[in-house]
Amino acid sequence: MSAIPSRLSVVTLGVRDMGLLRSFYHALGWPEQPSGDDDWSAFLLGGVLLALSPLPELAAEAAPGVADPAGGWSGVTLACNVDDRADVDTAFAAAVAAGATVVAEPTDRPWGGRSAYIADPEGNRWEIAWAGTAVFDERGSLVSFG
């Protein structure tokens, strides 16, 4: 075993408006962890925790002395892979109905899958994707990808 296990356990977003982002993820129907409040919140998504932390507090730990980002796209995307090609369109519509901003409409991609992009209320980019090679377990955790 390596000193650092090959796993992704938590993705933390530094947020400016905790109430807004919590409401958005609730509107997607994602279950919030019982300890969630406006000081810290999290959603367990298929074996990975999506954590929300106030940006100043996260920056103090992860980027001490570095200026806060100005906003906009960070250069990072998060992805939610769905089970079927048609599910991309359904999930995309649900995200937009929950308050997401359209970045790119659902389309078939040159790599053989289908995907769309949305932004949450703070501009974090999410890809909603279907890839025929993705295999999930009963919890929705990705177990292989090609």
Q: Which CATH class is domain 72-146?
A: alpha beta
- In tens, the pLDDT along 49-65 reads 999 999 888 888 888 88
Tokens of 71: 């906003």
Determine whether domain 1-64 maps to CATH 3.10.180.10: yes
Among the residues of 1-146, which ranges form H helices? 18-27, 55-62, 85-97
Task: Determine contact, residues 63/73, Cβ cutoff 8 Å.
Answer: no
Whether the per-residue pLDDT at 76 is higher than 90: the answer is: no
φ, ψ for residue 11 (rounded to 5)? -115, 125
- Range scoring the smallest mean pLDDT among 92-101, 126-135, 136-145: 136-145
Domains in the chain: boundaries: 1-64, 72-146
Average pLDDT over residues 79-97: 96
Rounded Cα distance between 145 and 126, Å, is 18
Q: What is the pLDDT of residue 141?
A: 86
